[in-house]
Structure 1
Amino acid sequence: MKNLIFVITLVLISNAYAQNGLENTNVFLRVYDLEGKKISKGKVLSILDTSLQLVRNGQPMEIPVRSIGSVKTKHSGGNNVLIGAVVGAGTMAVVGVATADPDAWILAYNAGEGAAAGALLGGTLGAMVGGITILFKNTNSYEINGDTAKWKAFTEMIVNN
């Protein structure tokens, strides 16, 4: 019985510690160097006075402030288009399979043809809807240019939002 209580306590303590270990993990950033080339992207792991730590695919990476030209929030517009296309294609492919009737008198098609046509039509419509949602995306851009004063202002804006 003591071992069971010990194990439960250990699990609860480790979960509490794990939840407090990372802050601001829901903020996605794209980081560009001083020449305007994208050097990294990912969710914020931590923001320090001299560097930015991001995590992408479970791998942490540290970017020194002196090499940061600009920072943009949120994913690029192509992400909206891609997600819209995938969701539209998948949904309409299922509808195409479900409505297939090879013995219909006017419009006869089998499940494979229905899936292909549905995916093509749904992917196109979904990409269009994803493209429209770009207009409502509120992406912010912050010019840093390796300046620590601008970096501190950016840090305060991110922490306060």
Structure 2
Amino acid sequence: MKYIIFITVLFFSYSVIAQEEVYSNTFVRIYNLDGKKINKGRIKTISKTSIELYLKEETIEIPLHKIGKIKTRRSGGNNIAKGAIIGGGSLALVGLLSGDDDKGIIYFSASDKSMMGLIGGGFIGGMVGGITAIFKKADTYIIDANKLNLERFKEAMTISE
């Protein structure tokens, strides 16, 4: 008997979930009609008159009349910063873990190696991040406070189940 109840509850909960629209987990940047960035985050909901975004556990609602265009994905500077942090941090850790050199003509302490790794790795990582930013495909949707354009954006962001 308990299996029948479990299957019935599972069946009804599945049909309820299927009624909700699910949006892609794409990061978007929203610009006003003058081209100035006004908000950024991940899409929570898209209605006919506004877009709700998640950003740092906050929900932000942007009314349609303020939306000029929407760009998907993060900017190229984000790639450069992540590359610099990853490259610099990892090479600094390698330099620190390699320890002090033996006394000799050229002597580097672990902290010296760590600093060189931080600077060199940060530079190289930033360059790699810049190269990856070139190949990043960010889509731009022109909304211009138009309901039809917002509806097209909504269709593009909706995941079909």
TM-score, normalised to structure 1, is: 0.82
Gaps of 5+ in 1: 1-15
* Alignment match, 2:157: 158
> Residue 36 of structure 2 corresponds to which residue in structure 1?
37
* Cα displacement (A) at 1:72: 0.1
Residue 100 to residue 106, structure 1, CA distance change in 2 (3 Å):
farther
Query: Using the alignment, how far apart are the partners of 1:45 and 1:105 within structure 2?
Result: 61
Q: Find the counterpart in structure 2 of residue 13 from structure 1.
A: none
Matched, 1:147 2:146: yes
> CA offsets per residue over residues 90-119 of structure 1, 9 Å max, x none?
110011112333315353211111110100
Tell me what 2:121 maps to: 122
**Residues 145-154 or 23-32, more deviating:** 23-32
Flag as ranges the 4+ runs of structure 1 deviating above 6 A: none
Fraction of identical pairs, as percent: 38
The CA distance in 2 between the partners of 1:57 and 1:73, in whole Å, is: 18
1:47 paired to 2:46:
yes
| Aligned mates of 1:89, 1:39 — CA distance in 2 | 31
TM-score by length of 2: 0.82
CA distance in 2, matches of 1:68, 1:118: 44
Higher relative contact order (CA 8 A, sep 6+): 2
For residue 93 of structure 1, what is the aligned residue in structure 2?
A: 92
Alignment length (residue pairs): 146
CA RMSD after TM alignment: 2.3
Consecutive unaligned residues of structure 2, counting only runs of 5 or more, are 1-12
- Partner letter of residue 148 of structure 2? A
